[in-house]
Chain A
Amino acid sequence: MLAQEVPTLPRGVRLHYDKVRENWVLLAPERAVTLDQIGHAILTEVDGKRNFGQITAALSEKYKAPQDQIAEDSSGFLDALRARRFLDVM
């Protein structure tokens, strides 16, 4: 994922708190992906407005971690969602 790309959750893909299993999941057509804390933190920043660079900057600020490290970790995660059509990029 490039810094200027704007990720967005397409219609039919949404975050959901699973009260029974007590964790966050990403619900998509006929799939449910269990999210760890990092995955959830990244996706809550995805708003369809800010680009990937702005998102990693915000996460860096929030979690006091180096931005390039965050970009590296979250890029793979978002690219995997994109390959499954759970994430669009504008």
Chain B
Amino acid sequence: MARTVAPPIAMLAELTHRCPLSCPYCSNPVEMAKLDSEMDTNTWARVFEEAAALGVLQLHLSGGEPAARRDLVDLVRAAREAGLYTNLITSAIGLTERRLNELDAAGLDHIQLSLQGTNAAMADTVGGYRGGFDRKMKAVEWIKQIGLPLTLNFVLHRRNAHQLPRALEMAQEMGARRIEVATVQFHGWALKNRDALMPTREQAQLVTQQVAKARNTLKGTLVIDYVPADYHEDYPKRCMGGWGSSGLNVTPDGQVLPCHAAQTIPHLTFERVQQKPLADIWYHSAAFNAYRGTDWMPEPCQSCDRKTIDFGGCRCQAMALVGDAGATDPVCIKSPHHRALQDRANRHATSGDAPFVYRDAPGAATEPAE
């Protein structure tokens, strides 16, 4: 292989697929890893060391709900000892005051807290977990007291898009330095809920305007990262910053993926950290090299001047929508499927009050040992 491959910067560690919430947009695969296949503390600690040696700087501890792991504090300690910047991506369900203090002492760098809605009625309906919002708000008080840096992640869709202004206020009240306004991405379970979740084109435009305005008025106070509703866009997202270019994902049972949805691409096979060093997998595995760089691209991507801007968009989305992971992301205006996708997005968006299809029990919702 002639081209040089840069080392990864970020690793997403999916510690478990178990979660007390059952969000209709869950990005975990439809077939989830079982509890008894989850890697143990020592194996994860070794993976963290291998990741740091490979060049990973940022570690995201995610799930499922990572707080469902009884060894979460030990995992954070191991990650910091490996030299990684350690971020916990959580709904806060399962984080008690004592546990947050232990995470603080173990060296946790940052918390990214998900927000399903700005009040209990919305948040608990979306999360499918009664009392979840109140527990989250309680945890926020403890996070503030401890002083752990906080980012709020507001997952936005047709049902809650109108709550964006309040979400921005809440982020400030919580002392968050940053908020992610993330329009639902349709992967995994979310594909089953496009009728219920797809924002209308008008909503998407309004949100874009609100974000632009808030970025201006909140400059230096609150940083806003924004993921627009890409079915309504004309150019695709720069998915993962390019396949196999900056990030990797490890599943609860040790499979190493170029992105969290890569298992939806049927011709790819994934290697495991139990069988091969992480560096070998990153540099040499067929899955990581499948869509790396630009050589794999078909037309219209190959001759497009945006090919190193968006890398042809999202491979998993091309797979899900046009049945070919090597196709141009149909979000792109140059894709022959672009018009059909826009019509489809509008049909999803005008499906009225289509009910949520919840995940049925994403693993037993275990509480941490106290």
Give the B-binding residues of A (Cβ under 8 A): 10-14, 16, 18, 20-21, 25, 27, 29-32, 82-85
Contacts and interface: CB of A to CB of B under 8 A. Distances in A.
A29 B110 contact: yes
B147 A11 contact: yes
B365 interface: no
10 contacts: A11-B149, A12-B148, A12-B149, A21-B55, A29-B112, A29-B149, A30-B87, A31-B58, A83-B219, A85-B220
Contacts of A29: 87, 109-110, 112, 149, 151, 177-178
B57 interface: yes
B85 A16 contact: yes
B223 interface: yes
A20 B58 CA distance: 14
B106 interface: no
B149 A21 contact: no
Contacts, number: 59
B110 A30 contact: yes
B57 A16 contact: yes
A12 B149 CA distance: 6
Given A29-B110, A29-B149, A20 B178 contact: no
B110 A21 contact: no
A85 B110 CA distance: 14
B53 A20 contact: yes
Nearest to A21: B55
Nearest to B8: A20
A75 to B, nearest CB: 15
Contact of B112 (A30, A31, A32, A82): A30
Given A20-B54, A29-B112, A31-B58, 15 more contacts: A11-B148, A11-B149, A13-B149, A18-B57, A20-B7, A20-B53, A21-B7, A21-B55, A27-B109, A29-B177, A29-B178, A30-B58, A32-B85, A83-B220, A85-B222
Nearest to B180: A30
B57 A10 contact: no
A85 B218 CA distance: 11
Nearest to A31: B58
Interface in B340-359: none
A29 B147 CA distance: 14
B220 A82 contact: yes
Contacts of B178: 29, 85
Contacts of A16: 57, 83, 85
B279 to A, nearest CB: 10
A11 B222 CA distance: 16
A12 B109 contact: yes
Contacts of B7: 20-21
B9 interface: yes
Contacts of A11: 147-149
A30 B151 CA distance: 9
Interface string B237-263: 000000000000000000000000000
B57 A32 contact: yes
B278 to A, nearest CB: 13
B57 A12 contact: no
Nearest to B147: A11
Contacts of B83: 16
Contacts of B151: 29-30
A16 B178 CA distance: 21
